[in-house]
């Protein structure tokens, strides 16, 4: 009897462990889909704007569309979806404590030779008494990004537009392949 009980208890514990691992895997997949939606929509709109009217116009697209797209995807999905960075352009994208710690960790791992496109952190944590799934994923700097986040590659008219919209801009001087920032997602589980 005692033995049966222990076996049942052990089975229950193992199942609970397996179920939460499965839940987490499902949440990671969902988060990846949202990142693709957010990143994909942004990139498509950015590239279309650059091609149509050049980088100065594209800055305005980023300025107004990036927060709108993030807000729409968050409202539709029930998740909180955003972007952040260690060198911010828009102070409104400042990281919360969890995201800031993940960014610090990614920077150390980048310094140690890991590639930004492999840097990701996903876990279930406790926040304000609630269970919350958090995921942070690094965003590498690509060639097109240098038009507005690079050093000398940034044209004077782009520089002027950035100075007007973002007087506190710190998101300049990035090199191709370097971590530019992160996608940060969260969802309350209870």
Which parts of this chain interact with ligand HEC (CB under 6 A)? 43, 46, 55, 58-59, 62-63, 66-67, 83-85, 88-90, 93, 139, 141-142, 144-145, 147-149, 171, 180-181
Contacts of residues 167-173 at CB distance under 8 Å and 24 or more positions apart, as own/partner, are: 168/88, 168/91, 169/89, 170/87, 170/88, 170/89, 171/85, 171/87, 171/88, 171/89, 172/87, 173/149
Helix 55-77, helix 156-165: angle, nearest 10:
40
Least distance between ligand HEC and beta carbon 165 (Å):
7
Least distance between ligand HEC and beta carbon 108 (Å):
19
Residue that the structure tokens 């995807």 belong to: 73
The pairing of beta strand 80-84 with beta strand 179-188: antiparallel
* Distance between CA atoms of residues 75 and 80, nearest Å: 8
Least distance between ligand HEC and beta carbon 13 (Å):
41
CB nearer ligand HEC, residue 59 or residue 119: 59
Contacts of 137 (CB under 8 A, 6+ apart): 35, 119, 120, 121, 182, 183
CB nearer ligand HEC, residue 115 or residue 188: 115
Least distance between ligand HEC and beta carbon 180 (Å):
4
Least distance between ligand HEC and beta carbon 17 (Å):
35
The one-character DSSP state at 92 is G
Helix (H, G, I), strand (E, B) or coil at 167: coil
CB nearer ligand HEC, residue 84 or residue 110: 84
How many secondary structure helices (H) and strands (E) does the chain include? 5, 4
Least distance between ligand HEC and beta carbon 2 (Å):
57
């Amino acid at each position: 009897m005692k033995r049966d009980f222990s076996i049942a208890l052990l089975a229950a514990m193992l199942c609970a462990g397996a179920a939460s691992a499965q839940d987490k895997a499902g949440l990671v997949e969902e988060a990846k889909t949202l990142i693709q939606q957010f990143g994909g929509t942004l990139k498509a709109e950015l590239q279309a704007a650059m091609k149509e009217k050049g980088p100065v116009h594209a800055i305005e697209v980023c300025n107004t569309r990036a927060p709108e797209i993030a807000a729409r995807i968050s409202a539709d999905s029930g998740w909180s979806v955003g972007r952040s960075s260690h060198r911010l352009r828009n102070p409104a994208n400042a990281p919360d404590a969890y995201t800031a710690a993940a960014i610090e960790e990614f920077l150390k791992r980048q310094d140690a030779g890991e590639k930004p496109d492999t840097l990701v952190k996903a876990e279930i944590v406790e926040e304000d008494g609630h269970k919350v799934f958090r995921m942070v994923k690094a965003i590498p700097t690509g060639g097109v990004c240098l038009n507005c986040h690079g050093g000398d590659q940034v044209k004077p008219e782009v520089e002027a537009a950035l100075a007007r919209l973002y007087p506190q801009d710190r998101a300049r001087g990035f090199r191709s392949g370097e971590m530019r920032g992160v996608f940060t997602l969260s969802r309350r589980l209870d």
